Amino acid sequence: MYQQSLSHALAALNATDSTLKDIVAGAQPRIDAFRAQIAQGENPAFNGALKVPQATTQALQGWAEKYQHVLVLGLGGSSIGGRLISQFADPAQLDNPRLHFIDHLCPMALHQLLTGLPLAHTAVVAISKSGGTLETTTQLQLVAGAFQALGLPMDDRAIVVTETTDNPLHQWAQQSNVTVLPHHPALSGRYSVFAETGSIPAILKGLDINAIHAGAQTTLREWLAEPYTSAPALGAALQAHAAAQGKSITVLYAYGEPLRILPQWFEQLWAESTGKNGHGTTPFGAVGPASQHSIQQLFLDGPQDKLYTVVIPQTHATGPARASDALSTGTLQQAMGQGTVQALAARGHPVRTITMPAHSTESLGALLMHLMLETVLAAQIWNLNPFENPAAVNESKQQSLQALDALRQAA
């Protein structure tokens, strides 16, 4: 599966395993309550989402062969989890169907997509938990209009994922005779990677979603059996201890194209779950080896305010090799990851290493579940609710709507 090594981090923080276990013990009542919730099947992110409903596979039947492109409309957790799965399945993004994750309102990019894609060979997935996300409903109106202009019906080339309430997205799907896959009302986007947001791209890209779920379930079972000493618990305690020692930034540094989106996914997961009531640390993503040639100068020689987690897939002796000395790209990539860890440790930075088999879907599921559990447990240590809606996001939405009204009036 995956292995977590804390030795360099503990040495830099002058801590031990006992230090971390004491931190976890301090949150035991809250952790026990969370564990009981999962055991009773009451948390969809850790229960119901770990399987693919038959309706999902039926709705996608034949899509991979029929369509060359699929537009995935959604923001935040409705998009980033699927993008992560897609990148893991197809790192070079060459296989059909090509998935286009539309998480923006860029006028130029949208115009190029809608005028440049072969819409007759294109399908659409629109994802919004509430069904009223302004950006997503706007995207869908534009896309539906482009299809309508060409006389292309949407009923057999579109899927909507939303709550089954009287919301705008659900209303449009019913009026257009489009399949609706229900979004669990208690499942927030940042914890939905094992639900439709991740399973739809996995199925379209031919990835074994059952293997991803199996890996996730293995990590979950291990934590349920040892809630205070397993890898996610110790990882959460490490985050809390590092923050208490002035490490206000937590860096997730992932190596390899299959994991390129992992840091972005973690940024949202961590920020929205722990950034509350003055608590939390700032997540920062890096991708190796590219970041070694840019941000690593700051990492090595800048402020000592960061905890580093370096994820290294075991790619030794894989991939194309140089003709001159038969050195494989996989060996070089793994060596660079290990070198980054050693360089950070040599300068006294707290750095944790997570290693995993190269391109193992089961290990991906295990790692994602680890990071989800670690995030929730860190929130328990800080006495925060990791599942509630962040007020700052709602405040930004309200300010954006006011700005929109002002622009309309000025036009």
Find how far residue 198's CA is from the centre of its chain.
9
Give residue 404's pLDDT.
75
CA distance linking residue 180 with residue 30, whole number of Å: 36
- Is residue 252 domain-shared with residue 238, that is, in the same domain? yes
Residues pairing with 179 in the sheet: 159
Which one is predicted more confidently, 49 or 104? 104
- Is residue 191 domain-shared with residue 224, that is, in the same domain? no
Question: Are 164 and 170 spatial neighbours (Cβ–Cβ below 8 Å)?
Answer: yes
247: its two tokens: 């490490």
Q: How confident is the model at residue 393 (pLDDT cuts 50, 70, 90)?
A: low
Residue at which a domain ends, from 209, 242, 267: 209
Dump pLDDT digits (tens) for 326-362: 999 999 999 999 999 999 999 999 999 999 999 999 9
Give the residue-averaged pLDDT of 290-304: 97
Backbone angles phi, psi at 342, to 5 degrees: -65, -40
- Is residue 233 domain-shared with residue 249, that is, in the same domain? yes
Give residue 392's pLDDT.
60
- Judge whether 395 lies within some domain: no
- Judge whether 301 lies within some domain: yes
CA distance linking residue 239 with residue 25, whole number of Å: 15
- Is residue 232 domain-shared with residue 354, that is, in the same domain? yes
- Judge whether 19 lies within some domain: yes
Give the residue-averaged pLDDT of 274-298: 96
Cα torsion angle, 5, 9, 12, 15, sign:
negative
Q: What is the CATH number of the domain that holds 334?
A: 3.40.50.10490
* Portion of the chain with pLDDT greater than 70, in percent: 99
Give residue 35's pLDDT.
96
Identify which of 165, 241, 245, 191 has the alpha carbon closest to the alpha carbon of residue 80: 191
Angle, vertex CA 383, rays to CA 377 and CA 389, nearest 5: 85
Give residue 192's pLDDT.
96
pLDDT at 54 over 90: yes
- Is residue 307 domain-shared with residue 201, that is, in the same domain? no
- Judge whether 399 lies within some domain: no
Residue at which a domain ends, from 167, 192, 209: 209
Give residue 48's pLDDT.
76
Give residue 77's pLDDT.
93
Residues pairing with 321 in the sheet: 328
Backbone angles phi, psi at 254, to 5 degrees: -110, 140
Q: Which of 171-180, 217-226, 392-401 has the lowest mean pLDDT?
A: 392-401
pLDDT at 390 over 60: no
Task: Concatenate the DSSP letters of all residues of 6-56 into one string.
Answer: -HHHHHHTT--HHHHHHHHHHTHHHHHHHHHHHHTT--TTTTTTSS--HHH
CA distance linking residue 215 with residue 229, whole number of Å: 19
- Is residue 63 domain-shared with residue 159, that is, in the same domain? yes
- Is residue 247 domain-shared with residue 311, that is, in the same domain? yes
Give the residue-averaged pLDDT of 144-173: 96
310: its two tokens: 């370096």
pLDDT at 408 over 90: no
- Is residue 172 domain-shared with residue 243, that is, in the same domain? no
- Is residue 199 domain-shared with residue 218, that is, in the same domain? no
Average of per-residue pLDDT values in the chain: 95
Could you tell me the residue range of the domain that residue 59 belongs to?
Answer: 54-209
Dump pLDDT digits (tens) for 208-235: 999 999 999 999 999 999 999 999 999 9
| Strand ranges, E, within 52-95 | 69-73
